[in-house]
Amino acid sequence: MPPVPAFIRSNPKLAFFALLAVAASGFGQTFFIAIFGGALREEFSLSNSWYGASYSGATLLSAFVLLGAGTLVDRWPLRRVAALGVLLLCGGCLVLAFAQSAWMLLPGFFLLRFAGQGFMTHMGMTTAGRYFTANRGKVIALAALGFPIAEALLPTSGSLIIQHSGWRSVWLLSAGLLLLATLPLLLWLAGNAGENSPQSSQATSESEGDYTRAQVLRDRGFYYLLPAALMTPFVVTAVLFHQGAIADERDWSMSVLAGAFGGYAAGHLLALFFAGNLVDRFGAQRSLPIALIPMITALVLLAFSDAPWVPYVYLALIGIAQAGTGTAGSALWPERYGSTHLGAIRSVSQASMVFSTAASPLLIGMMLDRGVNVMGVALSLALIVLLASLLTLAAPLTAQQKNRSR
């Protein structure tokens, strides 16, 4: 049996709980749901606009609900939180599997987006941030490996099953996998974590100086840091969603794009092995603007070159930035505000992330429709990322961070 890595030796079960929760979120992520687009539009005779509007509406509603439900991670035992997340995600799979009208897509999409992209990701990352301190960055990077694992397994296997058994069978199999395998494993890995809720000991909270969500919302430093934490999902969603339009203008073939997405996944995966060390060594707040440098470089490269090798390089750089900013952004809130109310605090950033992923395709689409070329779009995004990166420098350290740096 291989030895347990030193950085998770204090609680390996919770580290792998976080990894599994993040991987299971893939059933509600766009990269999986997107493979059903053609089948669903054909089944229910939907236009692209109606299909897109229903998906965006469900995503936005899930962000609002997450603001309230995200606090359950602070107040409930981890086993109960895991059961809620998996059962809701399983419910979304079953709603789509048995949908008989287009209107059934709305509750189905909502459950998948809320429980998958929102709640399961939130639960996994909050667990990694709360129960590990000395090696928080490494554990968060381990949990974030759930994203590329799901990206590698779910779309490919789902597409193959659609070809052989139809799209409804994929959702039935997904529900079965969640209920019969994922849920029991998560319950076992959770153990007794959270049985004594962190909020039950106010004295501990006050002695450590942990922030409440209300205090965080009054901290100006939070608003200096949040844009940088949102830049990666904002840019990645916009670029990937409009990749076809970018490829058409630059005369890049679909085979080139297919290979370039492999570079994006490889960059994301490989950088996760280094992102945790960066955060643990320099701190999340200092690491966040550093992690945005590859994204700025990628966007400038996209703006000024249309060479056939550019898609491979700029998407790989974006994958690297996604690993770095995802790790730093998730470690930032417990580092800055403590872990007692981490679920409530992370629910704000997670909901903001969902809003950003709903807004960016629309904004970039409007720019393209108004005649802005790829150079203009890429430079605009690079400027926004640069400004968000510089804004982090204005955020003062909290007392929590100053005490830890001594």
Give residue 274's domain range.
209-397
> Are 313 and 377 part of one and the same domain?
yes
Residue 144 sits in a domain whose CATH number is 1.20.1250.20
Q: Does 300 fall in a domain?
A: yes
Q: Does 168 fall in a domain?
A: yes
**Contact (CB, 8 A) for 303 and 247:** no
> Are 228 and 366 part of one and the same domain?
yes
Q: Does 368 fall in a domain?
A: yes
Q: Which of 169, 195, 221 is the last residue of a domain?
A: 195
Q: At what angle do helices 220-241 and 374-391 cross, to 10 degrees?
A: 160
> Are 160 and 253 part of one and the same domain?
no
> Are 125 and 19 part of one and the same domain?
yes
Q: Does 202 fall in a domain?
A: no
b/e burial code for range 271-285 (CB count within 10 A of at least 16 → b) = bbeebbbbbbeebbb
**Contact (CB, 8 A) for 315 and 261:** yes
Nearest residue to 261 via CA among 311, 295, 320, 325: 311
> Are 302 and 368 part of one and the same domain?
yes
Residue-by-residue pLDDT tens, the chain, 406 positions = 455 666 677 789 999 999 999 999 999 988 888 788 888 888 999 887 788 778 888 888 998 999 999 999 999 999 999 999 999 999 999 999 999 999 999 999 999 999 998 999 999 999 999 998 878 889 999 999 999 899 888 988 998 999 899 999 999 999 999 999 999 999 999 998 877 654 444 434 443 578 999 999 999 999 999 999 999 989 988 887 787 788 888 888 867 777 787 788 889 889 998 999 889 888 999 999 999 999 999 999 999 998 989 999 999 999 999 999 999 999 999 999 998 899 999 999 988 988 888 788 878 888 888 889 999 999 999 999 999 999 999 999 887 777 766 5
Q: Which of 195, 224, 255 is the last residue of a domain?
A: 195
> Are 43 and 150 part of one and the same domain?
yes
| Residue 157: both structure tokens together | 């296997």
> Are 188 and 323 part of one and the same domain?
no
This prediction's pTM: 0.84
> Are 172 and 76 part of one and the same domain?
yes
Q: Does 291 fall in a domain?
A: yes
Q: Which of 141, 163, 195 is the last residue of a domain?
A: 195
Alpha helices in 166-309 (DSSP H): 167-177, 183-190, 202-208, 213-217, 220-241, 243-250, 254-282, 284-291, 293-304
> Are 123 and 168 part of one and the same domain?
yes
For residue 300, what are the CA distances in angstroms to 70, 276, 304, 314, 377? 37, 26, 6, 9, 10
* DSSP notation for 76-92: S-HHHHHHHHHHHHHHH
> Are 151 and 249 part of one and the same domain?
no
Q: Does 83 fall in a domain?
A: yes
Q: Number of structural domains, the chain?
A: 2
Q: Does 406 fall in a domain?
A: no
Q: Does 402 fall in a domain?
A: no
For residue 169, what are the CA distances in angstroms to 55, 97, 175? 21, 7, 10
The Cα 85–Cα 119 span in angstroms is: 6
